[in-house]
Amino acid sequence: MTDTEPPGGARPDDGEIAEGWAEPWRPEQVAARLAGLEAPWCVAAGWALDLFLGREGRPHGDLEIAVPAAAFEEVRGRFPELEFDAVGSGTVWPAAGPAALAATHQTWAREPASGRWRFDVFREPHDGATWICRRDRSLRLPYAEVVERTAAGIPYLRPELVLLFKAKATRPKDRADFDRVLPHLSPDRRRALAGWLARVHPGHPWLERAAG
């Protein structure tokens, strides 16, 4: 990402964003289109937690997937009917070019005919087959330890890492996700989450419960 904001962006209000995300796709729809992709993509955020638990725990206003940044063009090529808008700090760059992509890590896939966003792509830092946490670049893991799969083969970000990302904002839905997922984490998973929280968010209110 760059430190300067490129020209051509727009700042939609909350109503426009809600309208644009009125009909997000589901994980199985994206998974079907990305079948056979060699890059280690995965469903992220709240949907990833539901895939881990094996059930839908709450409504989802969007669908987020994570891909290695170098694989984004390959992913985009699987959806030739969609435009990909770069997003960052409340600004949206429609049909993003190289400058907007370099300035952001988030990309909303938009259906031009309806104007609706169908899913969100996080373009993640990596070093070959090693995932790099964008919140703390010293946190690095092999993709084999980052991506898990459902019985149907849908890849998702391991729940401890999903909760680590949710710990930054701790919105009501993030706290609810933590509360519903924590009891289902094994002791090893809890220890991993506690260690990462202590590293990335020292003193975080979730730390004591994760370590307990």
CA distance 83 to 88: 16
pLDDT for 91 equals 96
User: What's the mean pLDDT when you consider all of the chain?
Assistant: 95
pLDDT for 3 equals 56
CA distance 130 to 17: 33
Maximum Cα–Cα distance for the chain, whole Å?
51
CATH 3.30.460 residue window(s) in the chain: 1-157
At 30, is the pLDDT very low, low, confident or very high (cuts 50, 70, 90)?
very high
Name the residue with tokens 């391991």.
158
pLDDT for 50 equals 98
| Predicted confidence (pLDDT) at residue 6 exceeds the cutoff of 90 | no
Tokens of 35: 């079948």
Q: Has domain 1-157 been given CATH number 3.30.460?
A: yes
Q: What is the pTM of this model?
A: 0.94
Model confidence pLDDT, tens digit, residues 196-206: 999 999 999 99
Share of the chain above pLDDT 70, in %: 98
pLDDT for 208 equals 95
| Predicted confidence (pLDDT) at residue 166 exceeds the cutoff of 60 | yes
Model confidence pLDDT, tens digit, residues 67-85: 999 999 999 999 999 999 9
pLDDT for 212 equals 80
pLDDT for 1 equals 45
CA distance 91 to 99: 14
Assign residue 89 a region (left: φ > 0; alpha: ψ between -120 and 50; beta: otherwise): left
